[in-house]
Amino acid sequence: MSPQRGRSQRWAGAAGLPWAVWAALRLTGSERGFPLVPALAFTPHAAASAVLPLAAATAVRSRVGTAMAAVAALALAGAVRGNRGERRAREPGPGTLRIATVSLRKGLVPAASVLDLVRRQAVDVLAVQELTPDAERVLLDAGLTELLPHSHVVPARPGSVVSGSGAIWSRFPLGERGAVPGTYEQPSARIALGDEAEVRVVSVHAAPPSTSPAAVRAWTTDLAGLPAPRGDVPWVLAGDFNATPDHAAFRALLRRGWVDAARAQGHGTTWTWHPLRLPAPRLVLDHVLVDPRVGIAACSFVPVPGSDHRSLLVDLLVAP
């Protein structure tokens, strides 16, 4: 072997090392802190680009490099494929509840976009994040309560960002109301659907882990603080978790007993967020997590003009 070829093979092997490390972190769930936690959100992008080190190692006939790159590519592809889930078809019927999430982008989403979503999609329960006092006033003036007359709004606490408020609007009467502690306000409400069927909904908004070690710690605490399915009334968590299925902390939350509605319908890799003025990246940050006692009949993703998040629309089957 010539010295030049030897150097080429060593460089090809080294080029595949980042993908191998990425695959190891994803498979073991060992990412911790900043910047590893925000980086893992881009695992689908890493999987798509894993062909690059494989092609480089193959071109210079590096057996070690080819093997390492191939294993990393297969591991990443398998993880992303596993996130998708499989459809378990269930037909809508009596007791169907249609819930939708909407992020108002710091209160800047036009009220018309929200009302159009509720009206066109026949939404029963709307879980709202990034609400501001001005946005709430505009929504009420536009007639949101004519469509969803029952509400539970938790204003942003003193010292928080003005868009830290959260809300639930419902077509059905609300019973016991509260909030789940977190960086932002996360209102919860018990909803009576009739025929003794009830469900408790939480509008989730976890801190984004994207900017600093402190942000990662806040995000980790927010996810860990979400409740597990329990009690006599089934729970539903709906909103912006700022977490993807490739995050170990999110998978740990699912292992507490939650069912991811999108994954249960085979849509677990369908994106819900991208920067408003850019086509990429596209990340799976919004979720509807369902108590196992609640069925999932359908799941879809609806653009909301003015928002950087798509609305996650889920039909739930709630038995008495």
Instruction: Name the CA dihedral angle for 25, 222, 113, 142, rounded to a multiple of 10 degrees.
Output: 180
Q: Domain range spanning residue 62? A: 3-84
Mean residue pLDDT of the chain comes to 93
Mean pLDDT of 66-92: 88
Same domain, 220 and 128: yes
- Asked if residue 300 belongs to a domain, the reply is yes
* Cα dist from 18 to 13, 21, 25, whole Å: 10, 5, 11
pLDDT band at 11 (very low <50, low <70, confident <90, very high): low
Counting the structural domains of the chain, the total is 2
pTM of the model: 0.94
* Cα dist from 66 to 57, 133, 231, 315, whole Å: 5, 57, 52, 46
Q: What are phi and psi of 227, to 5 degrees?
A: -75, 160
Same domain, 203 and 132: yes
Q: At what angle do helices 17-28 and 3-15 cross, to 10 degrees?
A: 30
Q: Which of 84, 108, 126 is the last residue of a domain?
A: 84
- pLDDT at site 1: 44
Q: Which of 41, 59, 84 is the last residue of a domain?
A: 84
pLDDT band at 243 (very low <50, low <70, confident <90, very high): very high
Mean pLDDT of 80-101: 82
Mean pLDDT of 285-307: 97
Distance, first Cα to last Cα, the chain: 74
Q: Which of 84, 110, 135 is the last residue of a domain?
A: 84
- Asked if residue 91 belongs to a domain, the reply is no
The CATH number given to whatever domain includes residue 254 is: 3.60.10.10
Same domain, 63 and 111: no
- pLDDT at site 59: 81
Same domain, 122 and 17: no
Contact between residue 166 and residue 152 where contact means Cβ atoms under 8 Å apart? no
- Asked if residue 89 belongs to a domain, the reply is no
Mean pLDDT of 249-278: 97
Same domain, 168 and 296: yes
Distance between CA 131 and CA 138 in Å, rounded?
Answer: 11
Q: Which two tokens stand for residue 266?
A: 């085979």
**DSSP for 4-40, written as a single string:** HHHHHHHHHHHHTHHHHHHHHHHHHT---STTHHHHH
Instruction: Name the CA dihedral angle for 274, 280, 249, 259, rounded to a multiple of 10 degrees.
Output: 60
* pLDDT tens column, 168-183: 999 999 999 999 999 9
Quick one: DSSP state of residue 87? B
* pLDDT tens column, 199-230: 999 999 999 999 999 999 999 999 999 999 99
